Amino acid sequence: MAYARLAPGEHSEIEAVPYRRDENNKRVKAANVRQATMWRARCKYRSLDGVREDVTRYARTKQAAVQAVREAVADKRHASAGSGDDSLKPSTPFIQAGRVWLKQIERPEAGKSAKTLEAYRGAFARYIDTDGCHLRGLTLAQANDVQRLLALLQRVADEHGSGAAKTLRTVLSGVLGMALRRGVLPVNAALQTGAVKAINPRASARDIRRSLTSDERIQAMEAADALAAQEWADPRSARKWETVADLIAFLAGTGVRISEARLLRWEHVSLSDGAIEIHGTKTLSSVRGLTAPGWLLERLRRRASVGGTEGMVFPAPSLQGPDSTVELASHVPMDSSNLQKWVRKVLNNAGLPWATSHTFRRTVATILHESNAPLVRIADQLGHANPAMTARVYLGRDLRGNKAELAALL
């Protein structure tokens, strides 16, 4: 009998035949589809070493039998291609694939910040690798199903909020996307789920769409300076609020991310001309050069004259001062969680409970936009790889406002 020529790793057309069980409970061909209680799917497969073999699977439906053969062929192909601990195939448990992905994104070339890695590891542990998650017992091929993913995402959104569901969707898409790039899966089903929102969104006093007015920006910096000017019994509290006040001024004068300001080092600041190197981690464009405005440069010079120019510009305040070693005092950044709490106190004191540390970033973008700075230059200031991101997220729209200046051009 002549067989179709198959290259290594290829399989023949998958044929499906209806089957039933006879009086001895043996599988036999059914006379017609109506008598079928199961289906047999089969194909010829040529392994990478040239050996031909039959691949046969049974299932209750024709579609399930054919899919089972496809998965078996894929397993054979990937099993022969590599047998390392990180090798994947369609039958790899989803949990195992997730752990491979987490290891992958921890590599330096992945460019993930410590905070991002912590968020992804937390979402994986809380919502996937936990009792009650229906993906936990599934393979990669089985988990790659839009309806299954949507069910999980919707439950997490309703129970833990839309933000938690968004982070989880990123994790799911990362795991399935890795399998797609390796040729293990044909599609990434997580990309087809769309955004999932909570049925009852949590009320929040924060408004991430607003930017500060000029008066509000000054108000926030004055509130920070007022805390720094108080007579604190504990010297560490005084140092803390002085550091926070300078950092808030830095956010207001540059529009950098709070994580970028927290990790700024003196060797990246030129006190002579105000040139600053920002070493961000989100994208390649987040590594950029900025220039401090004159008022901010004077503030940085005053800070340097008091604390020196070694290590962090905004070090952990509890480790500063004459009691600490130079190494501890200058090279330990502020704790990110504590810093957010301190910024929150400043904004509340300023009468701006709706604002966040990110509001300063949006404010800088708005100021530059209203001053007719080119969109590309604003994106450069913020460290965005795509200026469209700057326009879509950071610049406010005025659809219903006065358009007299546009009418004059027409």
Mean pLDDT of 205-220: 86
Is the predicted pLDDT of residue 150 greater than 60, yes or no?
yes
Q: What pLDDT shows up at residue 325?
A: 44
Mean pLDDT of 185-196: 90
Mean pLDDT of 161-181: 93
Place of tokens 């207001």: 252
By mean pLDDT, which of 21-30, 196-205, 309-318, 352-361 is the weakest?
Answer: 196-205
Please state, for a pLDDT cut of 70, what percent of the chain lies above it.
89
Is the predicted pLDDT of residue 84 greater than 60, yes or no?
no
Q: Which fold has domain 94-191?
A: DNA polymerase; domain 1 (1.10.150)
Neighbours of 3 (CB within 10 A): 9
Q: What is the DSSP letter of 335?
A: P
User: Residue 233: pLDDT band by 50, 70, 90 thresholds?
Assistant: confident
Q: What pLDDT shows up at residue 251?
A: 96
Q: Which residues contact 167 (CB under 8 A, 6 or more apart)?
A: 119, 120, 123
Q: What pLDDT shows up at residue 37?
A: 93
User: Residue 364: pLDDT band by 50, 70, 90 thresholds?
Assistant: very high
By mean pLDDT, which of 58-62, 234-238, 344-348, 387-391 is the weakest?
Answer: 387-391
Mean pLDDT of 353-362: 92
Cα 70 to Cα 3, 5, 61, 83, 311: the distances in Å are 19, 19, 14, 20, 57
User: Residue 326: pLDDT band by 50, 70, 90 thresholds?
Assistant: very low
Cα separation, 64 vs 67, whole angstroms: 5
Structure tokens given for 72: 């078996």
Neighbours of 172 (CB within 10 A): 28
Q: What pLDDT shows up at residue 243?
A: 94
pTM recorded for the entire structure = 0.59
The most confident of the ranges 103-117, 202-216, 335-349, 373-387 is: 335-349
How remote is the C-alpha of 299 from its chain's centroid? Answer: 34
Is the predicted pLDDT of residue 110 greater than 90, yes or no?
no
Q: Which fold has domain 214-394?
A: hpI Integrase; Chain A (1.10.443)
Is the predicted pLDDT of residue 2 greater than 90, yes or no?
no
Q: What pLDDT shows up at residue 324?
A: 45
- Tally the C-alpha atoms within 13 A of residue 328's C-alpha that lie toward its C-beta: 9
User: Residue 250: pLDDT band by 50, 70, 90 thresholds?
Assistant: very high
Cα separation, 172 vs 134, whole angstroms: 13
Q: What pLDDT shows up at residue 9?
A: 80
Mean pLDDT (the chain) is 86
Cα separation, 163 vs 198, whole angstroms: 9
What pLDDT, in 10s, does the model give residues 121-146? Answer: 999 999 999 988 889 889 999 999 99
- Tally the C-alpha atoms within 13 A of residue 178's C-alpha that lie toward its C-beta: 23
Neighbours of 319 (CB within 10 A): 19
Structure tokens given for 178: 């890795």
Q: What pLDDT shows up at residue 240?
A: 92
By mean pLDDT, which of 112-116, 173-177, 265-269, 291-295 is the weakest?
Answer: 112-116
Q: What pLDDT shows up at residue 401?
A: 61
Is the predicted pLDDT of residue 322 greater than 80, yes or no?
no
Return the higher-pLDDT residue of 74 and 381: 381
Closest CA to 347 of 359, 338, 362, 336: 359
Residues 169/152, Cβ–Cβ less than 8 Å: no
Return the higher-pLDDT residue of 77 and 96: 96
H or E segment and range at residue 278 = strand 275-279
